[in-house]
Structure 1
C-alpha cells in the first residue's frame, strides 16, 4: 500500500504511443512592442541619429534637420508596424510606467504618443492610454489625420448623408495644437503655428495642401514670413507653382499621418479653428492673441463656456513664455473675448470663462 494520492498506471501500449507521438506546438501570442526611440548624439561633423530598434541604420544629420529626421524615422516605424486597434496596449504600462509620474492606473483609448526628452536629444513614439498620455511631460498625442478607407457602394444605392468619424472638430483641433507644441521648434512664432495648424488639418493623403488666399487673409497670414519659417524648420516645402489664388505646399512631417479619420472631418476642424481665431468683435488682435483664442476655444467646455488647462502647456502651444500669458489674457478680457480668468499659483492651473462660446452656439459649432 502506497500512501498519498493514487497514481495512474500506464500500460505498455499507451506508453509507446505517448513516446512516439509528434510533439505538439504551443500557440504563441504575438508581441506588440509598439514603442520606438531615437537619440541624437553629438558627432565631430554634427549629429548622429541612433535608433534603438535598428542600431545599424543610424546616419549623420545636421542640426537644422535633426528634429525632422527623428520624427520621420519614428513615423516610418509606426507605419511599417500596423496593429489592429483591439491588439494595441499601453506600452508605458508594460515598462512599469517609468516614463511619467505614478497615477492610479491606465485608462482611456490607446493612441500614439510623441514624447521629447533631454531638450530634444531623445524622441519617443509609443502607444499609450489617455491617462498615461496626460501624465507624460513634454509629450503630445499624434492626432488621427490619415484618410479612412470607405467600402465602395453600389452605383444604384442612394447616397446617404455622411456622418463624422472619430472625435469632433473641437477635440481634433485640441489634439493637433498639443501635437504641434511638441513637433515644432520651441522658437516657432505664433503666426507659423497658426499656419501649421491649418496645413496639418487640410492636407491630403499625399501630404500636399492647398490654402486659398481667402483663408490666409482671414488668418492675416498674407506675408511669406511664416512659410519661410516652417521651411527653415524642415516642416514643409512650398511648391514653386503657386498661383495667385492659392498657396501650395508639401508637408515633410509624416508623423501627422495617423490612423483613420477621413479628410472631410479634418477640413471641418480646420474651418472650426478658422472661425475660432476670428470671433465677432475681435478686430485686429495679432497672431499671438489669435492663437491664444483658438487654444482657449479648443479647451473650453461647450456646455458651460468654462475651461481649464496648465499655464505651461498653453504657453508652449502658443510659442510664448508663461510670464507673458497674464498680460495676454488681460488684453483678451479688455476686448471682451474672455469674460474672466484666474490662475492658481500653487498648481499652475489656469481657469477661464469665454464670452463668445454660449452653449447653443458651441453645440452647433462642435456638431458641424
Structure 2
C-alpha cells in the first residue's frame, strides 16, 4: 500500500508539472527614469512595457510569456553598470536600453563579456557605429542627424554662424553630435564662432551662459542638451534677444520641452527620427494604445523604444536553436517599425527617415522632409 501511495504522489507531481505553464522569458529594460532627463527614460520604459503586454496578450513568444525586468540607471555610469550586471544575473535574454549614449558607453563592455544583447532605442553616439559587438540600436547615428541639421541651417538667411553649447554629462552623445554638425556645417561654408559646455544638474547659471553665447553675435545658437536644460537656456536667450534663431539636437525634442519652454521655445528647430503627424496605421494604433494607457503622448522616446522592444520580441519568436538573440536579429535583418521598415546592417546599425521640425503654436511641426 505504501508503494502504491508513493507511486500516486509521483504521478500526481508529474501531472501537475506537465500542466504547469512554461517558465517565462526574462527581458530587461534600463533607462534613466529619474532626474533631469527622466522624460526620455519614462517614455521608453512605458513603451517597452506596452510592447511586452501586447505580445503576452497575443500568446507570448513561442508559447511562453515574457517577463520584463525594469531598472533605473539614474543616468549614472556606475549605477548603469550595476543594474546591467543584476539583469545578467537574473538571466535575461536581452536588454532594451540604455536610452542615452553615455550610459551605453558605460555598459557595452559588460554586455559584450556576457554576450547579452543591448538593443538601444536612442543611444546614437558615433563611437558605437560600425562595431561588431553586442550593442544594436534602432535609431540613426548622430552623424545622420547632425549633418542634416547643418544642411538645413545653411539654407536659412541667418544660418552662416553658430554659437554652440552642449551638456558634458552626456559627453559621448553631445560631443559626437557637435563634431558631426561642425564638420558638415564648416564644409558648407558656415562658421562655429563659439563652443561652450555645462554639466547638467550642477550649479549652472544659464543666464551667464546665454550672455556669453550671444556676445559672439551668432546667426544662430545650437543647444545639445536634454529637454529641461534646453528649455531653461532658451528662456534666458529669449530674454536677451527675442529674435535669435535657436536650433537643438533631437535629445531635447520631447513634450516636456514644450511644457517647460512655453513661448521661449517657439521657433526652435530640431531634427528628429520620427514624424508626430505620421498617418501610418501601425503608428496610429500604437499612439492610441499608449495614450489610453499612460494619458500622454509617447514622443520620440516612446515610439522608438516600442520599435526596439518589438525587434527583440520578433527575434526571440524566430530564434533558431544555437543562435544568440543578436544573431537572430542580424539573420532576420528586416523588421516593421510603427512608422517605417527597419533594416539592420552587419554591425546592428539602422538608418531611419529624418525630418526637420519647428515649434509652432506649442507643437512640433514638420517643416522639411528628406534631404
Normalising by the residue count of structure 2, what TM-score does the alignment of the two structures yield?
0.22
**Which structure ranks higher in relative contact order (CA pairs < 8 Å, sequence separation ≥ 6)?**
2
Q: Which has the higher helix share?
A: 2
Normalising by the residue count of structure 1, what TM-score does the alignment of the two structures yield?
0.22
Which structure would you say has the larger Rg? 1
